[in-house]
């Protein structure tokens, strides 16, 4: 059963086409990596799914509804979550932000919401840090807290935009293993440039570079990279930069095509 259906979608910004003729069906409990070059439309696509942007043409359905109506079933961890390390906010207060309801301003601190927040933190092995200041945590720990904030409303879909940017290499592997565990209960979509690492954990790949190519497989091949990162005669081939560290076979596939 589909959790996201996108049909014939176009999006423009200031008269410039960002996404063109995008169509995709994403199944419930899929684990999708969205890859593509900078400026290719990856973050824009996430914002369209969230309902923060509206398409110029085409439709998006999330859990059978338009994105605005489906907001309660979507958890979101944005790119580059910057915090003031000296700001005296605790971990549990950050998670409780996921319970904000404009129609019930005083409900966030209820006993029920606090229990839900502690359960979300416990699910991410962060319950022992509930009363610590968020600025005291490592990059990987903070990302777990931000995921707990996204999960506290019990969404069906979790969207993450470059979530490992502030995490070291070992922490990235641990982070993706965590996402794989969460994927047992919900659909996960993650924008990432960590191609080698993430390909070990995801179930499918969506290549975005104005258009979208959906691959119902986890393996990231030279052909995928070639289609998303085309070589130009007058510049360094972006594939070689993006694919640095990928398996030798993938690099050889690209070299044959270039």
Residue 193: the pLDDT is: 78
Note the maximum CA span of the chain: 62
Residue 67: the pLDDT is: 94
- Burial of 249 (C-beta count, 10 Å sphere; 0-12/13-18/19+): exposed
Whether residue 31 contacts residue 183, with contact meaning beta carbons closer than 8 Å, is answered with yes
Q: What is the pTM of this model?
A: 0.81
Q: What's the CA gap between 198 and 173, in Å, rounded?
A: 8
Instruction: Output Rg (C-alpha) for the chain, integer angstroms.
Output: 19
Selection from 251, 171, 68, 178 nearest residue 190 by Cα: 178
- Exposure string over 175-210, b if 16+ CB within 10 A, otherwise e: bbebbeebbeebbbbbbbbbbebbbebbbbbbbbbb
Tokens standing for 169? Answer: 């290499």
Residue 45: the pLDDT is: 96
pLDDT along the chain (258 residues), means of 10: 95 92 95 89 94 95 94 87 72 90 57 92 94 89 92 94 81 87 95 80 89 76 58 41 41 40
Residue 50: the pLDDT is: 95
């Amino acid at each position: 059963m589909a959790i996201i259906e996108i049909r014939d979608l176009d999006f423009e910004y200031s008269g410039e086409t960002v996404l063109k003729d995008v169509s995709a069906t994403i199944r419930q409990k899929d684990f999708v990596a969205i890859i593509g070059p900078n400026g290719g439309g990856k973050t824009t696509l996430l914002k369209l799914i969230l309902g923060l942007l509206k398409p110029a043409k085409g439709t998006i359905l999330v859990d059978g509804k338009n994105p605005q109506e489906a907001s309660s079933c979507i958890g979101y961890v944005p790119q580059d979550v910057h915090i003031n390390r000296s700001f005296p906010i605790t971990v549990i207060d950050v998670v409780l932000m996921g319970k904000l309801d404009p129609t019930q301003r005083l409900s966030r601190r209820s006993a029920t919401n606090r229990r839900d927040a502690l359960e979300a933190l416990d699910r991410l092995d962060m319950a022992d840090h509930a009363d610590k200041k968020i600025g005291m945590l490592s990059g990987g720990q903070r990302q777990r807290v931000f995921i707990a904030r996204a999960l506290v409303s019990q969404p069906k879909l979790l969207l993450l935009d470059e979530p490992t940017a502030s995490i070291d290499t070992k922490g990235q592997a641990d982070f993706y293993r965590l996402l794989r565990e969460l994927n047992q209960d919900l659909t996960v979509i993650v924008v990432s440039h960590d191609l080698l690492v993430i390909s070990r954990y995801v179930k499918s790949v969506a290549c975005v570079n104005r258009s979208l190519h959906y691959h119902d497989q986890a393996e990231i091949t030279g052909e995928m990279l070639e289609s998303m990162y085309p070589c130009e005669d007058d510049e360094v081939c972006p594939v070689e930069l993006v694919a640095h560290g990928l398996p030798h076979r993938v690099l050889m596939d690209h070299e044959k095509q270039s």
